[in-house]
Amino acid sequence: MSLEISKEYLSTFNRRIQTQIYNEIRRDYSFPRIICRTLSELFNSYFDLYFSSQRKEGQIIFSAVSRDVPPGVPVEEMHLIPVRLTLYEGDDCTVKNQQDLLDKRITRLSNEAYVQGTLLTQADMAILLGESTKTIMRHITELENKDKLIPTRGKWKDIGPGVSHKKRILELYLKGYEYTEIERNTKHTGAAIMRYVKDFSRMLVLTDEGFNDTELRIITGLSDKTIQEYKDLIEIYSTPDYQERLTQLRNIFRKKTTHEINKEPTLINNSGGSKK
């Protein structure tokens, strides 16, 4: 499928290895254009097949912090992983609006880093994209308001005042997204998403029963920040539009509690029945 390239970016888009091969074959061998184009596409497909694990055009190697590094670890003690990040790809030339282009690059870089086992900071992306951290922060906020999750170290590790990934995942669930959709959109495993949903369902029922913050912290083992985020969600989504989802969540916790109560040993009587 051919890409619709804006005229102002056409020169940039054509500066690719495939174009270089095409031009050299045509200049050195004077083959017809169709032959040159076919050969350049063939060579390029072999590059992808045999060297796809290596750095491609527009990519750099960047040392990012491992996803396993907890908050509070000094920089000199952080486990760093070299990752391949795509600063430029051909599709970038199809984006006419510079703000949309920055959104596209923020999304791409953060997700490429996450897939390779790391998390970028907003400062990382600011340096890589030649923008201020305030600009990066503003774009991430706007993307998250559109239900896009941008994995950054600050959000994923709940560092700083930003909205945590737990809250964003639960917002998607409350808005009617299913586990598979949330998993695809957030790059989180289904098990992690289910754990957040269960924690939230427990918070929902305990809040209904009138437990205060101190009691909630002791019972759930959640941090003050997480408890406040969950309480904010309960307040925001306690409207008729979301009652069906909230009822499902309440039932999740109550069914789990009932199951644990019913796990008492049973005795087999002589008639083949059972009794508590």
Over residues 97-138, the pLDDT tens digits come to: 899 999 999 999 998 998 888 999 888 999 999 999 899 999
Kindly state the tokens that stand for 241: 């539009």
Which residue did the predictor score with more confidence, 13 or 225? 225
Question: Helix (H, G, I), strand (E, B), or coil: what is residue 60?
Answer: strand
Q: What is the pLDDT of residue 129?
A: 94
Q: What is the pLDDT of residue 17?
A: 79
Indicate the angle between helix axes 98-115 and 133-145, nearest 10 degrees.
Answer: 90
CA 223 to CA 60: how far, in whole Å? 38
Contact 107, 143 (CB under 8 A): yes
Confidence check: pLDDT of 267 > 50:
no
Q: Which helix (H) or strand (E) holds 44?
A: helix 33-51
C-beta neighbour count of 7 within 10 angstroms: 6
With a pLDDT cut of 90, the percent of the chain lying above it is 17
The 10s digit of each residue's pLDDT in 83-95 is 999 999 888 888 8
Q: What is the pLDDT of residue 271?
A: 41
Band of residue 164 on the pLDDT scale cut at 50, 70, 90: low
Average pLDDT over residues 10-32: 81
Q: Which helix (H) or strand (E) holds 274?
A: strand 274-275
Give the rounded distance of the alpha carbon of 121 from its chain centre. 14
